[in-house]
């Protein structure tokens, strides 16, 4: 599968994993302390070909995603479920541990960020759905993030990402319904 955009990853092992799964070019951030020089290269790639931010599903990966998003507010994002990014010994998390199929699915499910998003889902919708407060709020957000291909996030991050990626009320409702049905099992 050929990918037009440049895929932004954290390190060399992530690049190797992406190249095993896809015909794509990558840029490495070399960790969460992204240099100005690296940000300039990412910005150039974004202007010429577009970029897909594809970082590890952990705190440093989220931090890198946030730094790039602040600089390039309309870039694309691919998310990998944390369960699919765990090493065989169960001690490490990273894109380099994901299967070829999981990497391909994450890139096919890419989400585009919007600079001035329209509010489609209100904060009150999240409260009513038990996604902000309550005994199961964290588990519900996690399950919803997986279904919407947005990764895990806290309540405020969920609200922001729903706007940023322009998730429709219908898409939100359907994913939430699946989460609630799964809870009942």
Domain end (from 82, 112, 142) = 112
- In a domain, residue 117? The reply is no
- In a domain, residue 1? The reply is no
Question: 154 and 134 in one domain?
Answer: yes
Partnered with residue 7 across adjacent β-strands are 26, 52
Question: 108 and 165 in one domain?
Answer: no
Looking at the structure of the chain, the number of domains it has is 2
Question: 127 and 101 in one domain?
Answer: no
Question: 165 and 93 in one domain?
Answer: no
* Start-end of H helices in 29-164: 36-48, 59-71, 100-108, 123-128, 137-147, 155-164
Percent of the chain at pLDDT above 70? Answer: 98
What's the pLDDT score for residue 117? Answer: 59
- In a domain, residue 69? The reply is yes
Question: 144 and 83 in one domain?
Answer: no
Question: 155 and 96 in one domain?
Answer: no
Rounded to whole angstroms, what are the CA distances from 60 to 8, 30, 37? Answer: 14, 11, 19
What's the pLDDT score for residue 31? Answer: 81
What's the pLDDT score for residue 2? Answer: 92
pTM: 0.72
- In a domain, residue 118? The reply is no
Question: 92 and 151 in one domain?
Answer: no
For residue 90, is pLDDT > 90?
no
Question: 57 and 34 in one domain?
Answer: yes
């Amino acid at each position: 599968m050929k990918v037009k955009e440049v895929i932004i990853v954290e390190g060399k092992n992530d690049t190797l994993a992406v190249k095993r799964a896809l015909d794509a070019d990558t840029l490495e951030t070399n960790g969460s302390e992204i240099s100005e020089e690296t940000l300039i290269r990412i910005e150039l790639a974004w202007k010429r070909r577009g970029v897909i931010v594809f970082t590890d599903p952990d705190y440093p990966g989220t931090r890198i995603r946030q730094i790039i998003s602040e600089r390039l507010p309309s870039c694309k994002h691919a998310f990998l479920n944390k369960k699919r990014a765990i090493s065989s010994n169960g001690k490490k998390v990273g894109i380099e541990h994901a299967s070829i199929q999981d990497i391909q699915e994450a890139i096919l499910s890419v989400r585009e960020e919007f600079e001035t998003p329209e509010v489609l889902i209100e904060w009150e919708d999240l409260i009513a759905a038990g996604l902000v407060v309550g005994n199961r709020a964290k588990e519900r957000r996690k399950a919803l993030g997986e279904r919407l291909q947005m990764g895990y996030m806290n309540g405020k991050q969920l609200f922001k990402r729903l706007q940023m990626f322009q998730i429709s009320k219908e898409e939100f409702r359907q994913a939430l319904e699946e989460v609630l049905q799964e809870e009942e099992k």
